[in-house]
Structure 1
Amino acid sequence: MRNVLPFMTRVPVEGDFEMARRELWSFPLISLVSSALPTLILYMRLPLSNILAVLALYLTIGLLHLDGLADWADGIMVKGDRERKVRAMKDLNTGIAGVFAVVTVLLLQVYALPFLPFYGLFLAELNSKFATLLAMATKKPLGNGLGAYFMEGMNRKQLSIGTLLYVSLLLPPVIYNPLSLSSLFGLLTGGYVVHLSLRNFGGLNGDCLGATAEVARAGALIGMAFAWAYLGG
């Protein structure tokens, strides 16, 4: 886990680049670190805690995944063949589709949190990290970037261990409140990002993985917000 932390968070620890892709199984565990400060803020019920929690989240994980979401959205929305879409995704300039995607994801997260218990963001992060792990398990890299590097290290053993960790971390909140299962909506939204990526680009790169993480987190929060609002918490 220690070697993956520098790539998934801004926690000041050193990690080995080669060892990192051997620890992909630890993605669910990363959610414990990435959600720690936001969860504390929500637990303390500070003023504007929903906004502060989202800010604390990105202070912890950085903006790399949000940047990937913006690039991914630009590529998805442009008209043309796969080559043109990939070129638009790799363009250094962010288009209106990218701006819209980032703003939408941020707003969904901020407005969903007031409906949820303090551990809601942890569940969202857990599903976000697991959705990213599942995306890498497709083993369909696009290009030769960091995303392809990690996907090359993915195997059944890592996926099995990661799945076991995911279930182990998900189980306690579900036992405490079965409505926590609504966070699985994040896996559906993350899976849809993977589907769109394969259909439009023919593979996944780092931007696609970043988009998967962001959309899966927002999807988990929205799924839980509806469950708590209409089914009671």
Structure 2
Amino acid sequence: MRNLLPFLTRIPVEGDFEKAREELWAFPLVALVSSALPTLVLYLGLPLSNVLALLALYFTIGLLHLDGLADWADGVMVKGDRERKIKAMKDLNTGIAGIFAVVMVLLLQVYSLSLVPFYALFLSELNSKLGMLLALATKKPLGQGLGAYFMEGMTGKRLLGGLIFYALLLVPLIAYDPNVLASLLGLLAGGYAIRISLKNFGGINGDCIGAIAEITRAGTLVVMAFAWQLI
């Protein structure tokens, strides 16, 4: 897992670029690190804890995934064929679709965090990392960037390992609170984002993976917010 941290967080540790894709099975484990500080903020019940927790999350993971979401949304929303959509996604300028997507994801997360238990952020990060892993498992790279590099390292064993660690981290929380099962529905948001990526671009690159991570996390928090309000 140590070699993945420089790619998925801002934690100042050194990682081996060549070994990172050999640790794809550890994606779910990264959620333990990325959610630690924001979960602590929620647990302590500090004033404006939902806002502070989200700030703590992005302090830990950085804004790269949000940037990918903005580019992805610009590409999805532009009219035209795949070539035009890919060109819009790679454009350095952020359009109104990208801004709207980022604002909505942030608003959904910050509001949902005010309605869910403190461990919900860990669950949403766990789903987010699994969503990224499933995106890599499509083995349909778009271009020759970092996404393609990690896809080359994806194997059935590494995917299975990731699924096993995901289950091992999830099961204790389900035993503690059976309502946690609702968080599994958040993966549908990530699956839909994967489908939209393949439909619009014909493949998945780093921007798509970042968007999938953000959409999966936000979708999980929204689902859990609804579940906890209805329980």
Secondary structure in structure 2 of the residue aligned to 1:114: coil
Give matches, 1:97-108, under 5 Å. Answer: 97-108=97-108
Q: Distance in 1 between matches of 2:198 and 2:69?
A: 15
Paired letter, 2:9: T
Task: Percent identity, please.
Answer: 71
Paired letter, 1:202: G
Alpha-carbon shift at residue 110 of structure 1 (Å): 0.3
Paired letter, 1:119: Y
Q: For residue 160 of structure 1, what is the aligned residue in structure 2?
A: 160
Count of paired positions: 231
Q: For residue 205 of structure 2, what is the aligned residue in structure 1?
A: 205
Paired letter, 2:77: M
Unaligned residue ranges in structure 1 (runs of 5+): none
RMSD of the TM alignment (CA)? 0.5
Q: Distance in 1 between matches of 2:181 and 2:60?
A: 25
Q: Moved runs in structure 1, 4+ residues, more than 3 A?
A: none
Q: For residue 28 of structure 1, what is the aligned residue in structure 2?
A: 28
Alpha-carbon shift at residue 185 of structure 1 (Å): 2.1
Q: For residue 195 of structure 1, what is the aligned residue in structure 2?
A: 195
Alpha-carbon shift at residue 63 of structure 1 (Å): 0.3
Q: Distance in 2 between matches of 1:170 and 1:87?
A: 39
- Post-superposition Cα deviations, 1:174-207, rounded to whole Å, max 9, x if no partner, equal 1111111111122100010000000000000000
TM-score normalised according to structure 1 size? 0.98
Unaligned residue ranges in structure 2 (runs of 5+): none
TM-score normalised according to structure 2 size? 0.99
Q: For residue 134 of structure 1, what is the aligned residue in structure 2?
A: 134
Paired letter, 1:116: V
Q: For residue 68 of structure 1, what is the aligned residue in structure 2?
A: 68
Moved more, 103-112 or 172-181: 172-181
Q: Distance in 2 between matches of 1:181 and 1:209?
A: 24
Q: For residue 14 of structure 2, what is the aligned residue in structure 1?
A: 14
